[in-house]
């Protein structure tokens, strides 16, 4: 039996392969159309590109679960249900706002000639048309009989229009998630949702129009492959503005300047959330190649995914080492943020073949986030999940690092960081201030003590637990705040 298998392996199979190859060659010579079909045709590339957008977009959407787990595990148990409510709410609001107007402001007719008072608004913002849908050629293709020609669709684009909308929409939801974690445990639910609607309908699309939409920063050569600044720093600036307006949680900073430790209530859930985010980031960066219809795109996408993974890993290792020296302990929460910082740092330019740069960029991101956590405590800014160091600080570093490894121009990168930072922080500060003066941005002291689960949602995530507040400590802080208001 073994001899027979050897005979087949060494004699019959090679002969069969040779015969198949000769037959294929003759067929190609006799019918050149068949040879063309063996490659990736235009319609096949259209299918691959569209499929890539949809699959990677679904993976990025899964990052919403990661943010939910990260935040729910970072807050005290009395606020975990509110975190779940905020995250499913913000994803839904972001999707609707971006569909109704956000995408059009970001991409449609950006760069057109629309001069007003000497300023070309076409370089700043897209059209204010409402809703977005498939193109006329796509609609005609769907209405035609089965087997109809797709020539009209292929002449317009290399992917289905709504697949691009879907992929872009999940990015704007990521931006809103960053704000949610930073302001946890003291921002009013409805005020937060109104801010998210404004952020995803106007603020984020404005920044996107300047850059990915082909606006003035894009014309200058600003580079941000998948959004270290456009997505993550934008979310970080919006969160920082809210932190300044709303202030820290009750009891976080004592009168003597000391910081009250508020460790995560469920570090297992936080760790799960970070792993989900890491997994989703492969879609975040890999999908930003924006094509999968050729061998070149497939190779670049592979490189992007490898660099993404290397940067996250080096961010973890450096945060593991640095936390011992900067925070005085080996801090798992800081290490988990090190992974996120490494991912954010590489997002601006993961498309390079010298992989050691990814390790270096992620390592610096890990160091930045640990130092950033300590810095926020020093300046008395209460960021529950470390969103500002992980997304804003690391996002700035990643955007600058694109001039080292990604070929970007340093002065243009600096200009983009400054322009986007000033714009997003300014708009967000005004929005938070307006909400605070009207609806109120912050929950009452009573609800904050009780927890938003019971105080706003009238439910509890862990009903078998008994809340044991520290009234003396809270009264001391509340008295100090009332004096400051007076």
Taking only the tens place, the pLDDT of each residue in 116-170 is 666 677 789 999 999 999 998 998 888 876 666 788 888 889 999 999 999 999 9
Specify if 460 maps to a domain.
yes
Taking only the tens place, the pLDDT of each residue in 385-439 is 999 999 999 999 999 999 998 889 999 999 999 999 999 999 999 999 999 999 9
Yes or no: say if 370 and 319 are a contact pair by the CB < 8 Å rule: yes
* Count: domains in the chain: 1
Q: Could you tell me the two tokens for 39?
A: 């490659």
Specify if 303 maps to a domain.
yes
CA distances (Å), 45 to each of 118, 136, 146, 291, 302, in order?
42, 20, 20, 8, 18
CB atoms within 10 A of CB 172: 28
Q: Could you tell me the two tokens for 134?
A: 């498939």
Taking only the tens place, the pLDDT of each residue in 453-462 is 999 999 888 8
Specify if 5 maps to a domain.
no
Specify if 270 maps to a domain.
yes
Question: CA–CA separation, 368 vs 356, rounded Å?
Answer: 19
Q: Could you tell me the pTM of the whole model?
A: 0.87
C-alpha closest to that of 236 among 423, 419, 391, 91: 391
Residue bearing the bigger pLDDT, 26 or 321: 321
Residue bearing the bigger pLDDT, 455 or 256: 455
Averaged pLDDT of the chain:
88
Specify if 479 maps to a domain.
no
Q: Residue 388 maps to which CATH number?
A: 1.10.3430.10
Specify if 388 maps to a domain.
yes
Taking only the tens place, the pLDDT of each residue in 213-243 is 999 999 999 999 999 999 999 999 999 999 9
The whole-number pLDDT of residue 140 equals 87
**Class of residue 283 by CB neighbours under 10 A (exposed 0-12, middle 13-18, buried 19+):** buried
Q: What residue numbers bound the domain in which 96 lies?
A: 42-473
Specify if 22 maps to a domain.
no
Q: What is the DSSP string of 168-236?
A: HHHHHHHHHHHHHHHTTTTB-HHHHHHHHHHIIIIIHHHHHHHTTTS-HHHHHT---SS-IIIIIIHHH
Specify if 11 maps to a domain.
no
Yes or no: say if 243 and 438 are a contact pair by the CB < 8 Å rule: no
- Of 38-42, 161-165, 246-250, 432-436, minimum mean pLDDT range: 38-42
Question: CA–CA separation, 54 vs 97, rounded Å?
Answer: 20
The whole-number pLDDT of residue 478 equals 58
Q: Could you tell me the two tokens for 310?
A: 């290397």
């Amino acid at each position: 039996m073994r001899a027979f298998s050897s005979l087949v392996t060494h004699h019959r199979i090679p002969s069969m392969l040779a015969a198949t190859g000769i037959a294929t060659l003759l067929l190609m010579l006799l019918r050149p159309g068949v040879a063309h079909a063996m490659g990736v045709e235009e319609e096949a590339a259209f299918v691959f590109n569209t499929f890539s957008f949809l699959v990677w977009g679904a993976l990025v959407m899964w990052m919403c679960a990661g943010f939910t787990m990260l935040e729910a595990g970072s807050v005290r148990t009395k606020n975990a249900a509110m975190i779940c409510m905020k995250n499913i709410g913000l994803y839904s609001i972001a999707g609707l706002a971006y569909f109704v107007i956000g995408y059009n402001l970001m991409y449609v007719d950006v760069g057109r000639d629309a001069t007003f008072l000497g300023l070309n608004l076409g370089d700043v913002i897209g059209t204010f048309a409402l809703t977005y849908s498939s193109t006329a050629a796509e609609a005609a293709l769907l209405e035609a009989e089965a087997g109809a020609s797709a020539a009209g669709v292929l002449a317009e684009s290399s992917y289905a229009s709504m697949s691009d909308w879907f992929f872009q929409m999940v990015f704007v939801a990521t931006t809103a998630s960053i704000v949610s974690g930073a302001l946890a445990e003291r921002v009013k639910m409805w005020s937060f949702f109104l801010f998210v609607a404004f952020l995803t309908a106007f603020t984020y699309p404005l920044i996107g129009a300047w850059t990915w939409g082909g606006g003035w920063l894009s014309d200058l050569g600003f580079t941000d492959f998948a959004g270290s600044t456009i997505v993550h720093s934008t979310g970080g600036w919006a969160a920082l503005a809210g932190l300044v307006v709303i202030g820290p949680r009750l009891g976080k900073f004592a009168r003597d300047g000391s910081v009250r430790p508020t460790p995560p209530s469920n570090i297992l859930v936080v760790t799960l959330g970070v792993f989900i985010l890491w997994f989703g980031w492969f879609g975040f960066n890999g999908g930003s190649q924006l094509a999968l219809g050729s061998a070149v795109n497939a190779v670049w996408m592979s490189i992007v995914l490898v660099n993404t993974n290397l940067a996250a890993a080096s961010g973890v290792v450096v945060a593991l080492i640095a936390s011992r020296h900067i925070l005085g302990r080996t801090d798992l929460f800081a290490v988990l943020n090190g992974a996120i910082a490494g991912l954010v740092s590489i997002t601006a330019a993961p498309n390079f073949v010298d992989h050691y740069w990814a390790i270096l960029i992620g390592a610096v991101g890990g160091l930045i986030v640990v130092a950033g956590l300590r810095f926020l405590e020093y300046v008395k800014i209460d960021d529950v999940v470390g969103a500002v160091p992980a997304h804003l600080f690391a996002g700035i570093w990643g955007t600058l690092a694109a001039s080292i490894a990604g070929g970007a121009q340093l002065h243009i990168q600096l200009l983009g960081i400054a322009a986007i930072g000033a714009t997003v922080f300014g708009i967000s500060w005004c929005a938070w201030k307006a909400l605070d003066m009207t609806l109120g941005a912050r929950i009452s002291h009573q609800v904050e003590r009780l927890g938003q689960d019971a105080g706003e949602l009238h439910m509890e995530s862990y009903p078998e637990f008994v809340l044991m507040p520290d009234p003396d400590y809270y009264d001391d802080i509340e008295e100090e705040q009332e004096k400051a208001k007076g």
